Structure 1
Amino acid sequence: MQGPVLIQNVVFSLVILIAASLLAEPLSRLIRLPFVAILIVIGFIGSEWVVWLGYDTGIRAANFSELVFYVFLPVIIFESAYRIDQQSLKQNLWPILMLAMPIMLISAGLAAVFIFLGVGHATGFPIYTALVAGALLVATDPMAVVSHLKRIKAPAKVTTLIEGESLFNDAIAVVLFTTLLSLAMAVQQDSSSGIDPVAQVINFLKLFFGGLLFGFLVGCLGAFFSYVIQTRILENVLLVSVAYGSFLIAEDYLGVSGMMAVLAAGLMMNRAHQRFIPAEDRTFVHYWWEVLSFFANAMIFILLGVTITTSMFTERWLAMLIAIGSVLLVRLLAIYVLLPLFCPGSTQRTDLNTRHVLFWGGTRGAVTVALALSLPIELSSWWTIQAMAFGVVLFTLFVQAPTVPLLLRKINTNKSDRSWER
């Protein structure tokens, strides 16, 4: 009877937390904090309260990996790819790809080096652990920032840059994280074995391009069925099948990246629905996926609140500060040094005010939290990495995101597109 009772406890605990999260929206408006920040507070207070009452929630850190990777992340990645404005994406594709690919990879490496040097404990926090932390911390999340940009009618280019970077950045960061985590676990289990960098690069490319190719094929198949079906309800059923089907088959049967497959499939279905589905039906489908993504994001941030403990702040506060400082420094270098270097052309060059928003608006959120929650407890210093991730996310949500409107007002974004130029 222990198994069923434990499952009932998990479901009941999540239902209570979801019900409590209904308070997050009015509270976020009242105190002017991001909605997800309030969810974290609700999750933390709720979990502390039920533990104080002696109730076993049944929620275990060891169960987070499958829950996050197989249930929540596919929805978040697919919804972002499916709903992005492809016309605006095409116009700003080069800087987006530069931000999400070479600049992101360089940023992950720099973050790992800064964190490793900052911690300064090669035995307890080796370089391969720092690499996992670096990959985990580079994924950006525009959820807390884009709402401000849309409310003041900021230039579409800026919003697309932030959303597009996050879309590709998140999927690639998951692939990089998975590759480096496998490497870290292998080195930890057999420290005498050497690391073959060529094999690791080949494995990364296999995951990356294999996932993209399979996702493209699934998207083409989904586009065909979309053309045949053209029914609101069945289109939603089809999209759920494409999202989870592309992820599960790619990840568990083909040995390639499920996240890249979901990304490619989502972009293909986005294109297909623009061609085959009437505008009013697309509005219905978009709203339905917005609800799914909202639920997935809410659950991830509630789980973050549940996982946070006061001991993290008392025992790992220095690690959190090192991670926050490293992430800010790396983001500064990425936006003000690497982005102009990789985008030298006048037609694609981002102006100074746009870079200001990209720097301070590069918040961390759902994917960083999801990857942190999925860390295997067998990994050395996994709790330190998780504390770092939580510290960075809390900083971006409680400090960066609330001050983005101040930055936007300072550069007069509500006047015209010219106000972004210097």
Structure 2
Amino acid sequence: MSAALEFLYRVLGLLALALAIRVVVDVWLEIPYSILLILVGVGISIHPIEIGLRLSHDVIMSLVLPLILFNGAIELNRRLLHDNIVVPLVLVVVGIPLAVALLGAATAAVFGLPVLIALLLAGIVVPTDPIAVLSLFEEIDAPERLSVIIDSESLFNDGVAVVIVNVLLVLIAERPTLTGSSEIATTVVLDLFVVGVGGFLIGAVLGYTATQFMRRVPERMAILLSTVLVAYGSYVLATSVVGVSGILATVGAGLFVETTPSEGIKIDPDILEFVRDTWEGGAFLLSTLVYVLIGAQVPIDSLVRRLEYILVAAVLVLLVRAVVVYSLVGIMNVIATPKTPPSYQHMLVWGGLHTVVPIALALGLPAGLPRRDFIQAVVFGVAVTGALVQGLLMPTVLRVTGIRERASRVGTLDRTE
């Protein structure tokens, strides 16, 4: 069998497995589809079963994330995002650095890690993945405002966390001893602003330019190709040419390329729907494979040896997430409107799983990095623990918070909370 046929054979096998899981979820189980995929992958890792496919840092960052993030950006309700932008922005701009500082301090104290290594671990593990909770939101027709807040926060925090991690890796390589917390904080903030904002602006310009082009070429395949070029082109231009955040460039491109029918967009609505459906299908297929492979690559032996550390780390991650969300959103409820109700805050905390981006960052750590194996084990462990505990209990949390019942009563957009 040729290498190409063997690769196709393995991919088809994983997709067949995913199809069976999808049917089981839809018919019998009330478990997020992506969570069950990870757990099945973990089962493959335990046996172990050789599936012949593996994820790498470059594959996730350069191939997977641009597709998933661009699709997430074009699916956002722009009006709702505009009306509720304060919450996700504060949770990203203030919340991510605060979470890294708090979790870094906690892991340095509990695990005895050097400060920079502890901050690096925190920076890797804090990005959230909303896919599991959003899939349940779609099934129960949950308030779209809550979905927009969770989804937009995730889109932005991935890019911000990647910038922080890259800055910390440079500091560790160039300054193995801590020269001053203020110096480190200044370096991180400056790089975060230049690299993060620069990447977003590049994507925004390319997205706006693509929209102007799409208005003049009203042919659906040409428009679809334009969106593919702007999604991946913004990532490549920002990362390889300019040296800024490719992830935030892709998010910016997705937010500024127009794929939703409106009065100012003179493009056939059917064409725009075709483009959105194509992106949604591609993101679904790719994320399906990724979640199985994440589970299949879990280093079981390493996790078992460090189980106590992993459980403590998982608790610390959840506690820090709770402190950041409740404190920042509480402050915003005092000084800004609309208010974010407690049920939404609970879902922001519980729905913050840490899977795709943290694992990609952990896989990309340089070979000579101190405590590299420990960091990778903790990151994989937190991902699996979150899938087992937070993911499996997600339906229960939706019921306890009243979101499921409220959605079933209203069935429409909740604009009052």
Query: When the two structures are superposed, what TM-score results if normalisation uses the length of structure 1?
Result: 0.86
Residue in structure 2 matched with residue 90 of structure 1 by the alignment: 82
C-alpha separation between the residues in 2 aligned to 1:281 and 1:240? 15
**269, 275, 283: which one aligns with 1:279:** 269
Residue in structure 1 matched with residue 225 of structure 2 by the alignment: 237
**53, 59, 62: which one aligns with 1:70:** 62
C-alpha separation between the residues in 1 aligned to 2:45 and 2:320? 34
Residue in structure 1 matched with residue 295 of structure 2 by the alignment: 305
Residue in structure 2 matched with residue 57 of structure 1 by the alignment: 52
C-alpha separation between the residues in 2 aligned to 1:185 and 1:9? 40
Would you say 1:115 and 2:103 are equivalent positions?
A: no
1:46 CA displacement: 4.1
1:325 CA displacement: 1.0
1:144 CA displacement: 1.0
1:136 CA displacement: 1.8
**188, 200, 204: which one aligns with 1:216:** 204
Residue in structure 1 matched with residue 31 of structure 2 by the alignment: 33
Q: Residue deviations 1:114-136, cap 9 Å, x none?
A: 1222212xxxx322222122112
SS in structure 2 at match of 1:256? coil
Structure 1 residues 333 and 45, CA gap change in structure 2 (3 angstroms): closer
C-alpha separation between the residues in 2 aligned to 1:15 and 1:376? 32
Would you say 1:379 and 2:369 are equivalent positions?
A: yes
Residue in structure 2 matched with residue 204 of structure 1 by the alignment: 192
Q: Is the 8 A contact 1:300 1:370 kept in 2?
A: no
**343, 346, 356: which one aligns with 1:366:** 356
Residue in structure 2 matched with residue 409 of structure 1 by the alignment: 399
C-alpha separation between the residues in 2 aligned to 1:381 and 1:267? 38
Q: Which moved more, 1:269-278 or 1:164-173?
A: 269-278
1:349 CA displacement: 2.5
Residue in structure 2 matched with residue 333 of structure 1 by the alignment: 323
1:317 CA displacement: 0.8
Q: Residue deviations 1:120-179, cap 9 Å, x none?
A: 2xxxx3222221221122212221112323333332222221112112222222222222
Q: Is the 8 A contact 1:352 1:421 kept in 2?
A: no
C-alpha separation between the residues in 2 aligned to 1:192 and 1:7? 49
C-alpha separation between the residues in 2 aligned to 1:382 and 1:11? 33
Residue in structure 2 matched with residue 148 of structure 1 by the alignment: 136
1:421 CA displacement: 9.1
C-alpha separation between the residues in 2 aligned to 1:328 and 1:206? 30
SS in structure 2 at match of 1:378? coil
Letter in 1 for 2:23: P
1:309 CA displacement: 2.7
C-alpha separation between the residues in 2 aligned to 1:103 and 1:420? 25
Q: Is the 8 A contact 1:68 1:374 kept in 2?
A: no
1:77 CA displacement: 1.3
Structure 1 residues 330 and 26, CA gap change in structure 2 (3 angstroms): same
C-alpha separation between the residues in 2 aligned to 1:181 and 1:207? 15
Letter in 2 for 1:32: E
Structure 1 residues 320 and 28, CA gap change in structure 2 (3 angstroms): farther
C-alpha separation between the residues in 2 aligned to 1:7 and 1:174? 33
Would you say 1:134 and 2:126 are equivalent positions?
A: no
**378, 383, 387: which one aligns with 1:388:** 378
SS in structure 1 at match of 2:258? helix
Would you say 1:17 and 2:14 are equivalent positions?
A: yes
Q: Which moved more, 1:39-48 or 1:73-82?
A: 39-48
Q: Is the 8 A contact 1:142 1:363 kept in 2?
A: yes
The share of aligned pairs that are identical, in percent, is: 28
Q: Residue deviations 1:361-404, cap 9 Å, x none?
A: 22223223332333333322222222222222222222213323
RMSD: 3.0
Structure 1 residues 135 and 356, CA gap change in structure 2 (3 angstroms): same
SS in structure 2 at match of 1:141? coil
**315, 322, 329: which one aligns with 2:305:** 315
Residue in structure 1 matched with residue 279 of structure 2 by the alignment: 289
1:420 CA displacement: 11
Q: Is the 8 A contact 2:37 2:288 kept in 1?
A: yes
Q: Which moved more, 1:350-359 or 1:8-17?
A: 8-17
Structure 1 residues 295 and 132, CA gap change in structure 2 (3 angstroms): farther
The aligned length equals 407
